Chain A
Amino acid sequence: MSKRLDRIFSQPAKGKTRLIAYLMAGDPTPETTLRRLKGLADYGVDVLELGVPFSDPIADGPVIQSAGERALKGGMTLVKTLEIVREFRVLHETPVLLMSYLNPLLRYGWGKFVKDAVEAGVDGLILPDLPWKEGTNLRTETKRLVGTQLSFIPIVAQTSQEEDLLELSIGSQGFIYVLSRNGITGGEAEISAKVTGFINGLKQHTQLPRCVGFGIQTAKQVHCLAEYCDGVIIGSAIVRQFSELDKKELSELELRKGETEILEWVAEINSIK
Chain B
Amino acid sequence: MTTSSIDPVMKIEGRTAGRFGDFGGAYVPEILVPALRELAKAYESAQKDEAFQLEFKDLLQNYVGRPSLFYHAERLSKHLGGAEIYLKREDLNHTGAHKINNTLGQILLAKRMGKSRIIAETGAGQHGVATATACALFGLKCVIYMGEEDIRRQHLNVLRMRLLGAEVCSVTIGSRTLKDAINEAMRDWVAHVEDTFYCFGTAAGPHPYPTIVRDFQTIIGEETRRQALKELGRLPDTLIACVGGGSNAIGFFYPFIEDQGVKLIGVEAGGKGDAIGEHASTLTLGDPGVLHGSYSYLLQDDDGQIMMTHSVSAGLDYPGVGAEHSYLKEIGRAEYVRVSDIEAVRATQILCQTEGILPALESAHAIAHAVKLAPHYGPSHVIVVNLSGRGDKDVETLEEYMERGEYHE
Please report A residues at the B interface, Cβ cutoff 8 Å: 54-61, 65, 69, 72, 77-78, 101-111, 128-134, 137-138, 141, 154-157, 159-161, 164, 179, 182-184
Contacts and interface: CB of A to CB of B under 8 A. Distances in A.
Contacts of A134: 25-27
Interface of B: 7-12, 25-35, 173-174, 179-180, 183, 186-187, 190-194, 289-293, 298, 300, 302-306
Among B7, B8, B10, B174, which residue has the most Cβ atoms of chain A within 10 A?
Answer: B7
B10 A131 contact: no
Given A106-B10, A159-B193, A184-B191, A130 B305 contact: no
Given A103-B300, A104-B305, A111 B191 contact: no
A182 B191 contact: yes
Contacts of B27: 102, 129-131, 134
Contacts of A182: 31, 190-194
Nearest to B26: A134
Contacts of A58: 28-29, 183, 186-187, 190, 292
Looking at B34, B190, B290, which has the most chain A CB atoms within 10 Å of its CB? B290
Given A56-B174, A134-B25, A182-B190, A108 B304 contact: yes
A129 B293 contact: yes
Contacts of A101: 290
A55 B305 contact: yes
B303 A77 contact: yes
A128 B30 CA distance: 7
Contact of B10 (A59, A137, A157): A137
A78 B26 CA distance: 24
Contacts of B31: 157, 159, 179, 182-183
A59 B29 contact: yes
A1 B306 CA distance: 32
A262 B307 CA distance: 35
B7, B29, B32: residue with the most chain A Cβ atoms closer than 10 Å:
B29
B191 A183 contact: yes
A141 B9 CA distance: 7
Nearest to B287: A107
A157 B194 CA distance: 13
Contacts of B7: 106, 109-110
Q: Quick one: which of A72, A102, A134, A164 has the most chain B CB within 10 A?
A: A134
B9 A160 contact: no
B71 to A, nearest CB: 40
Contacts of A131: 26-30, 32-33
A235 B315 CA distance: 36
Q: Most B CB atoms within 10 A — which of A129, A130, A133?
A: A129
Given A102-B290, A103-B289, A164 B34 contact: yes
Contacts of B300: 103, 107
A69 B300 CA distance: 16
Nearest to A108: B304
A169 to B, nearest CB: 14
Contacts of B303: 77-78, 104, 107-108
A128 B29 contact: yes
B124 to A, nearest CB: 20
Nearest to B33: A131
Given A134-B26, A157-B30, A164-B30, A72 B305 contact: yes
A162 to B, nearest CB: 10
A108 B9 CA distance: 13
Contacts of A184: 187, 190-191
18 contacts: A56-B174, A59-B190, A78-B303, A78-B304, A103-B291, A106-B304, A110-B7, A131-B27, A131-B32, A131-B33, A137-B9, A154-B30, A159-B35, A161-B34, A179-B31, A182-B190, A182-B193, A183-B187
B34 A159 contact: yes
A161 B41 CA distance: 15
B245 to A, nearest CB: 15
Nearest to A132: B30
Nearest to A128: B29
**What are the 4 tightest A-B residue pairs by CB atom distance, in nearest-first order?**
A107-B304, A104-B304, A183-B191, A157-B31
A107 B289 contact: yes
Contacts of A107: 289, 300, 302-304
A137 B25 CA distance: 13
